Amino acid sequence: MKRKRSILRMCISCREIFDRVDMLKITYENKSGIFINSGIGRSAYICKTKNCTQDRKLKKNLQRALKTNFDNKFYEVFTIETQNYK
């Protein structure tokens, strides 16, 4: 039998490689907007650690990775979603 290979992705904040299951996916769809952990389109991955989710350069890194600007409302929702990470 063939073994399933894990899909690896790089965190845009700490630049470390993790399994895709252990990361937070942020997706930008051209018509629909920005989604957390869903959607098809240009995506960026962030590991679920407090250092990466509360990084002061995270907003700029997200804008560069998704090639778009987003309002502060999304960033507020994002911080509320990621408050409980270790």
Exposed/middle/buried for residue 38 (C-beta within 10 Å: 0-12, 13-18, 19+): exposed
* Average pLDDT of the segment spanning 72-83: 85
Query: Looking at the DSSP assignment, which residues form a beta bridge with residue 9?
Result: 18
Residue pLDDT, tens place only, 6-29: 899 999 999 999 999 989 999 998
Report pLDDT for 31. Answer: 84
Q: pLDDT digits over 30-60, tens only?
A: 888 888 888 888 999 999 888 888 888 988 9
Q: What is the pLDDT of residue 74?
A: 85
- Regarding the domain delimited by 8-71, which CATH topology (the fold level of the hierarchy) does it fall under? Hypothetical Cytosolic Protein; Chain: A; (3.30.1230)
* Token duo for residue 21: 């299951």
Compute the mean pLDDT over every residue in the chain, rounded to the nearest whole number.
88
Q: Where are the domains of the chain?
A: 8-71
**CA 50/CA 2 separation, integer angstroms:** 36
